[in-house]
A and B are shown apart, each in its own frame.
Chain A
Amino acid sequence: MADLPLDNKLLQEYAHGFVTPVEEELVPPGLNEDIVSTISRKKGEPAWLLEFRLKALRAWQRKSEPHWAAVDYPPIDYQSIRYYAAPRRLSAGEGVDPEVLRTFERLGIPLHEQQRLQGVAIDAVFDSVSVATTHQKILEEHGIIFCSFSEAVRRVPELVRQYLGSVVPPGDNFFAALNSAVFSDGSFCYVPPGVRCPLELSTYFRINAAGIGQFERTLVIADRDSYVSYLEGCTAPIRDENQLHAAVVELVALEGATIKYSTVQNWYPGDEQGRGGIYNFVTKRGECRGARSRISWTQVEVGAAITWKYPSCVLRGDDSVGEFYSVAFTNKHMQADTGTKMIHIGRRTRSTIVSKGISAGESRNTYRSLVKFLPGADHARNHSQCDSLLVGNQCTANTFPVIESENPTAIIEHEATTSRISEEQLFYLQSRGLDPEAARSLIVNGFCREVFQQLPMEFAVEAVKLLEIKLEGSIG
């Protein structure tokens, strides 16, 4: 192949890598009962919630870090991390620091009521706390509760208590247990029966302080025959050290309800040599608890040094539907081990998996999935499509699909492909006037099309742009 012109955008900075100068209130590094109690006390939590945290802490202390994923990293010293950081003015009840508002504006997320985004209600989380939630009024008119997790604990403690940990129990896995012990804030959403949420709900996570971890908790409950579409975005400053992000997202869909949950994850991925970047160890799980309910995960993972994430669906209700649409892009020294679990329990449950992995640079991109049919899952079916695209020749793509069926009536289809952007495709597009970069970007976008189509419009546009930036100069 002819040499491609050396790309001068190769050194394009991570656009969200700035640090906000803001005075933060921090807890001392380390993790023990005192720290957990301090966090709970700072947030003025009820006793049952402290109990939940302590139970999780004890479960975490008994567990060891899992190492089955295809990711390598030096040992994490959990005692050197700070588990809570909040802008001081906010904790002191003096309102949101203007610097924090400016941060979100710079990220394209205006929080002032007059400039807020049309059609999207946003909960903005800065380090450990939620700083603002927009469009409250319209949502309240529909009886929808959308607020920070801390506020939900105060406003609707009975709902939180009923559902928290009901999908991801406190001791579910090492990282979920860690989160359950120290989670500081996050978003909460409840959509009442029969209500179709008129806005896209969105949470934007921003890590700012150095040496802290971010442990947010999201809980979305869609009551009978309701509908909600939820978006999540994430960024962090450029730093030389690695930072830990261990979130838990729980979704509950009751009878006839639909939850669409979309993520565009753009955590700082580290530099050319693989220094720094976010370690993203996330547990996301949804339960289709009622008949005919539906949960659809869409994720576009383009950042983080390490991604360990398997958004899953427990299909308990008869005729319930689970979906997983994923684009995972890795470049430089990034490592992603991501996929899904579809657990078929109810009769005639259906699941669809569409995974698109793109590996460039010296990155490692692993798809891992479990599709399981329990004995009661009569006439359940799964369709999996799992494609890998290699850009350059120093990257790795792996696929580990596992299928377990305890029901002979289950129907399972699995398709997988691995390909490269071919010289013929590039030449064909160049012969139509496209430069190699535009050609490559078009091919990759085409490869991801089925997934991008699942995203809400504005997010799809963002995702396409983001992938273009990430692809620039990624050819080996």
Chain B
Amino acid sequence: MCYIFCTNLDAVINKNTKFDIIVVGGGHGGIEAAVSASKLGMDVLLVTLDVHATGRMSCNPAIGGIAKSRVVREVDAMGGLMSQAADSTGIQFRVLNRKKGPAVQATRSQNERSEYEFEINRLLIAHKRITIIQGNIVEIIIESNYIAGVILENGDEFQCSAVILATGTFLGGKIYIGHNIYDKGRIGESADCKLSQSLENAGLSLLRFKTGTPPRILRSSIDFSATKIQLGEEDYFPFSLNNEVVLPVSQQECCFITWTNEKTHRVVQENLKNSALYGGMITGIGPRYCPSIETKIVKFPGHNKHIVFIEPEGRESVEMYPNGISNSLPEEIQLKMLHTIPGLENAEITVPGYAVEYDVVEPTQISHSLMSKSISGLFFAGQIMGTSGYEEAAGLGLLAGINAANWICKRESIIFTRDKSYIGVMIDDLVVSGVDEPYRLLTGRSEFRLLLREDNAWLSVFETLPHDILEAISGDRYYIMLQWYKSLNQVREFIFSRSIKSREADELGVAQGTLLKDYCNRPEARWEKLSRMYAEIACLPARPSSTLLTEFKYEGYINRQLRDAEKINKLHTLKIPVDMNYKEIGLRREAVDKFEKAQPKDIAHASKIPGITPSDLTSLVSAINKLFHMKHST
């Protein structure tokens, strides 16, 4: 009953080998975690409930989008699999917000669902240090606050130095379709993960979240003539930086747009009591930015229509995915509702929509390295930390893999500051402020979003990670970045030093003698012109070029954010002693409780704890100063 992909079969059968890291969960987070750790020399055991479902897209068949596309590119620069699989299995590409500025521009792909899964697995099993088994982990073994191993449902025990939990919606997962409830984390699969009790026994407190997905529809039952067609685009950069090939529009699939109407809303209204969400069965908190159709109708009674995107599940797939109408209504009501929507009058459901409820570990119990604050060696990634989304999971998984390996090897953790990475912003938000709904990245999450663009994701990663680690995890991609980095600096220097000569002035529309840099600062600056005119510039590949041009165009704004970031990063240098006694520094009770619970590392973290006021911080800073002087005067 145990499916195994591995080279060290002995280890699994005889259980005589201690793995470095055990990853629990084979989704987008678990896979990136296993791969990044294995690249850093770790022997990894990946335990999944269903070895045939590793890398599966549970919800919409798409990767990227606002803020998330930058995460995919950060993952890519760190050698992740998601970007590669998204590129090679993409069937439509679009660039959102193309005309609204580089900081909000975002690439998104529609993907062939089954192929994506296949591709991820192909990339995954190429890593020989990863052993994959099917099993349900029911207990984590802790010895004097250190993780020591795991116990499977069948009684098997495995020892390890670190565990990465990436259980997704499977931890205490419950699926709701109307009044029917099933103990599982995804439809069509066998079981839920029964680890919750063990985590609570270990002193971790859990939250309950909810998410949902729409029904899948038989493609042949849809009347596409009643819908609006949405085409793809070919002017985009593939997600992976070692992939230059774009998919021509002629080879791309279309999406289709339709709208709900008052009839649809009446069906939902009349059946709210049968909806798991509104019938009182679900207590978990759902995401505001991804509301179910029931929520949309209840919250916005004045709206007479809601948009529905009908997305292909694949080129040859018999199914379509109606994005925007996730629900937990009984199947027959789902059908009745669909039949009110133009184009879906005769729709047939292949898989019903459903809501899923699952357990989340309250993320304020986790440190910035993604390791538990109380149990050494226990790491987390993805929905178990309160996030939602494939990209968020992949980013956290990748970092958890690196940091688990770093912890085992006694190297310093990789922690991105908020001005360097959306993964860093996400981790900081989660572990400092906690969550009260599934957390999704949005550009507005980052106060330094002008610095966090799709075009410079590679550069931020390149400048943050130690090069030995980056080389180990990124492989070929590291050498590309190294090359880009060098040429980018050369071209930047050229632009700074060169002034425009008379014969060039007309073509660029500026006065002779103007610095080339000043031309680049203008909103109308065009890179194509520059690379046509100067061989020194033409040598720079397209992607680092777009990084550089944005740097110049946004120079003033970027510099301002860099200065702001520097101020915040200075607050990070005001470290709070580990043995700080918050009770004795004249703080109010509430602040003491909050600081004690959050254990902030420095004043920057302390300042972001919800409910902490400037005066609390003043007291804290003066207490730190006092301690500092006391130490240095004795």
Instruction: Check if A and B associate.
Output: no
- Residues of B whose CB lies within 8 Å of any CB of A are none
- Residues of A whose CB lies within 8 Å of any CB of B are none
